[in-house]
Chains A and B, each alone.
Chain A
Amino acid sequence: MSLLDIEALNLRHGLLEAVRDFTLSVAEGETVALVGANGAGKTTLLRAIAGAHRPSAGTISFDGVDVTRVAAYRRVQMGIALVPEGRRLFPALTVEENLLVAAQRRRPGRWTVDTVIEAFPMLARLRGRRAATLSGGEQQAAAIGRALITNPRLLLLDEVSLGLAPLAVEDVYRSLASVIAEGATVVLVEQDLTRAAAVADRVVCMLEGRIVLEGAGSELTREQITEAYFGLRRSQALDA
């Protein structure tokens, strides 16, 4: 059975339709990468799954329960965690406080402040530092840790490599790989197509709020994705 079921979802920003008639199922343990140009609706979609954006139509079900109208903070308790775009740590709180704030309503599981710091060793010496003083890579590690500490069943990652030095991206993905290998269900947005295809079981390409291409990460070619990404041969992409 699928863990996440999105049915005919419509998301708006005022008059703008960011996501249109979107249907997607994610199985337990699956890793799905959402790719697409800026403005394709990826971030809005992740925020809607996390409960931070109210859909104008359609339903979102999590583990068989309709959560479309459930508040974001309750979804965290149900096991949905989002690592937001731009990391969004609480700047004046220390790294440890950022983790503790999220840990307060954590579900039972293996992630605690200590295990998060084990998984992201760079955080060990930063525990007492204010989040605002961290480098981009360090902030990203803390932001992922803050999501993991709630012990999510579904982890949503929004552009974790955005604005990071290549080495920092390597670090972040190396840590993520172990999380994914443990069987976590992950939906991630990633601009780097090669990385998206490598890390994900399935790649979903969005254009103007719709799915234009979908396939196993190992099977789709870079050219197919690029064409769908820019909407070059939309009809063929839809056939694929």
Chain B
Amino acid sequence: MTWVNDVIQGVMLGGFYGMLACGLALMFGLMRIINLAHGDIAVLGAYLIYVVLEHWNTSPFVAILPVLPVMLLLGYLLQRLLLERSLRSGMLVPLLTTFGLSIVIQNLLQQGFSPDVRSLGAQAGSVATASWQITSQLSIPAIGALTLGVAVVIFGGLQLFLSRTHSGRQMRATAQDPDTAELVGINSKAVYARATAIAVAIAAIGGMFLAIRSDFYPYSGPTYLIFAFEAVVIGGLGGSLWATLLGGIVLGVAQTIGGQINPEYPVLAGHVVFLLVLLSPRGGLVNLRRATA
């Protein structure tokens, strides 16, 4: 029964990783940019929510509402002012740009908020601690169920957006063939900026759950970037969006089961599964080759 419990906890943790991986996968799928600042952007989102909560006594789930448009705007500007220029110089330059951006965000957060460790768990109220006891060994925490639910809504919403709207169709067309997309009247730079805006806003939602589930400080980003990146690779780079959520769930389950075997193993178990997928002949690596071909 503990194993069933572990799997359920892992699936819910996976929803959280999937949420963090979503924007990463979107930007890689569309522009072939690996955004090394993605984790820091999520943490930045958490700090912005923290700022809102300092002025307004409410729950983080409400405080994120004014933060989302700010993050959309930041994402748009990030693409227009920074990444668009970097993309002109090939694959490697955006990687360096986002690496630098990651350091800049970390240092600005340290400057502005001090290195203190914070959490938004208390402000989230009973949601952060409540759980449903199913059997003596099986309980479902409310925050876990909520995380997974929100992740499913985000992925489903993004999938609907990509398949049903004009803007989404433009994104898919541009991802498949940017050169031809321009030739049928698509402004690829505008498409890229819109996608980055969405990716950054979703990262902020991930940042909110990060801040409620555990604590955060200015340098929390890179750890979560690694988990998000592993989720994307396990799902298969260049694959479908749902595969990224599935990748997050595989990682989450691997971590909880690893933790069950030995409390020191969760992160290691996740890395091992990631490496196994990367090394398997039909796994992530195959998709990686196909994606960059």
A-side interface residues toward B, CB under 8 Å?
A: 50-52, 71-73, 76-77, 81-82, 84, 88, 90-93, 97-98, 100-102, 104-106, 146-147, 150
Q: Which residue of B lies closest to A82 (CB)?
A: B183
Contacts A90-B177, A91-B176 given; does A76 touch B184 at CB 8 Å:
yes
Q: Is the CB of A101 within 8 A of B177?
A: no
Instruction: Give the docked Cα–Cα distance between A81 and B184 (Å).
Output: 7
Instruction: Give the docked Cα–Cα distance between A90 and B171 (Å).
Output: 11
Instruction: Give the docked Cα–Cα distance between A185 and B183 (Å).
Output: 18
Contacts A97-B169, A101-B170, A104-B166 given; does A88 touch B185 at CB 8 Å:
no
Instruction: Give the docked Cα–Cα distance between A52 and B166 (Å).
Output: 23
Is B215 in the interface zone, CB < 8 Å from A?
Answer: no
Contacts A93-B169, A93-B173, A97-B169 given; does A102 touch B184 at CB 8 Å:
yes
Which residues does chain A contribute within 8 Å of B186, judged by CB atoms? 73, 101, 104-105
Is B180 in the interface zone, CB < 8 Å from A?
Answer: yes
Q: Which residue of B lies closest to A91 (CB)?
A: B176
Contacts A71-B182, A150-B184, A150-B185 given; does A88 touch B173 at CB 8 Å:
no
Q: Which residue of B lies closest to A156 (CB)?
A: B183
Instruction: Give the docked Cα–Cα distance between A98 and B188 (Å).
Output: 16
Interface residues of B in 158-184 (CB under 8 A from A): 166, 169-170, 172-173, 176-177, 179-184
Q: Is the CB of A101 within 8 A of B183?
A: no
Q: Is the CB of B185 within 8 A of A104?
A: yes
Is B187 in the interface zone, CB < 8 Å from A?
Answer: yes
Which residues does chain B contribute within 8 Å of A76, judged by CB atoms? 183-185
Which residues does chain B contribute within 8 Å of A72, judged by CB atoms? 182-183
Instruction: Give the docked Cα–Cα distance between A102 and B186 (Å).
Output: 8
Contacts A71-B187, A91-B176, A93-B176 given; does A101 touch B169 at CB 8 Å:
yes
For B, the interface residue count at a CB cutoff of 8 angstroms equals 17
Which residues does chain B contribute within 8 Å of A81, judged by CB atoms? 183-184
Q: Which residue of B lies closest to A88 (CB)?
A: B180
Instruction: Give the docked Cα–Cα distance between A98 and B170 (Å).
Output: 10
Q: Which among A77, A84, A97 is the interface contact of B185 at CB below 8 angstroms?
A: A77
Q: Is the CB of B169 within 8 A of A88?
A: no
Shortest C-beta distance, A18 to chain B (Å), equals: 17
If A52-B182, A101-B169, A147-B184 are given as contacts, then 11 extra A-B residue pairs at C-beta distance below 8 Å, sorted by A number, are A52-B183, A73-B186, A73-B188, A82-B183, A90-B176, A90-B180, A92-B176, A93-B173, A93-B176, A102-B185, A150-B184
Shortest C-beta distance, B238 to chain A (Å), equals: 11
Can you name 27 A-B residue pairings with CB atoms under 8 Å?
A: A51-B183, A52-B183, A71-B182, A71-B187, A72-B182, A73-B183, A73-B186, A73-B187, A76-B184, A77-B185, A84-B183, A88-B179, A88-B180, A88-B183, A90-B173, A90-B177, A92-B172, A92-B176, A93-B169, A93-B176, A97-B169, A98-B173, A101-B170, A101-B184, A104-B166, A105-B185, A146-B184
Shortest C-beta distance, B114 to chain A (Å), equals: 46
Contacts A90-B176, A91-B176, A93-B176 given; does A100 touch B169 at CB 8 Å:
yes
Which residues does chain A contribute within 8 Å of B187, judged by CB atoms? 71, 73
Instruction: Give the docked Cα–Cα distance between A97 and B188 (Å).
Output: 17
Instruction: Give the docked Cα–Cα distance between A98 and B187 (Å).
Output: 16
Top 5 nearest A-B pairs (CB, nearest first) are A76-B185, A105-B185, A102-B184, A72-B182, A88-B180
Which residues does chain A contribute within 8 Å of B181, judged by CB atoms? 90, 101
Which residues does chain B contribute within 8 Å of A106, judged by CB atoms? 185
Which residues does chain B contribute within 8 Å of A102, judged by CB atoms? 184-185
Which residues does chain B contribute within 8 Å of A77, judged by CB atoms? 185
Q: Which among A51, A84, A100, A104 is the interface contact of B180 at CB below 8 angstroms?
A: A84
Shortest C-beta distance, A148 to chain B (Å), equals: 11
Shortest C-beta distance, A64 to chain B (Å), equals: 21
Instruction: Give the docked Cα–Cα distance between A88 and B176 (Å).
Output: 10
Instruction: Give the docked Cα–Cα distance between A73 and B183 (Å).
Output: 6
Shortest C-beta distance, B87 to chain A (Å), equals: 15
